Amino acid sequence: MIAREWKCRVPECHSAGFTAYLYETGIKDSSSTPGFLGAQIFRHTLAHKVELTLITYWEKLESIKTFSGNDISRARLYPKDEIYELEPDLSVKHYEVIEHQFSVEQWR
């Protein structure tokens, strides 16, 4: 399994709107791609900004190429990102997942 990590920052006032937009663009496009396994979004509050980290999970690198194109190190951005004053990382990181375990009971 491969984890794909992308980060961005937005002004605090755009946090909720951009997160909803992220679901409608990045999550929707990712989840409709063969080999997509799941996603998580993390939020970290900074001074007057919010940093969002999107982690998507994939069966293999070839699955990511179907989503992102041949250069999987480049971030996939969307036309309306600028509306949210987005400060995107232009590159992404990929990790081989060597352990993944969640306990449903811990999240209740």
- For residue range 6-50, list pLDDT tens digits in order: 999 999 999 999 999 999 999 999 999 999 999 999 999 999 999
Give the residue from 88, 95, 105, 21 showing the smallest Cα distance to 55. Answer: 95
| Predicted TM-score (pTM) of this structure | 0.88
pLDDT score, position 99: 85
Element (H, E) at 95: strand 93-96
Tokens of 6: 């992308």
Domain boundaries, the chain: 2-98
- For residue range 40-89, list pLDDT tens digits in order: 999 999 999 999 999 999 999 999 999 999 999 999 999 999 999 999 99
Whether domain 2-98 has CATH 3.40.640.10: the reply is no
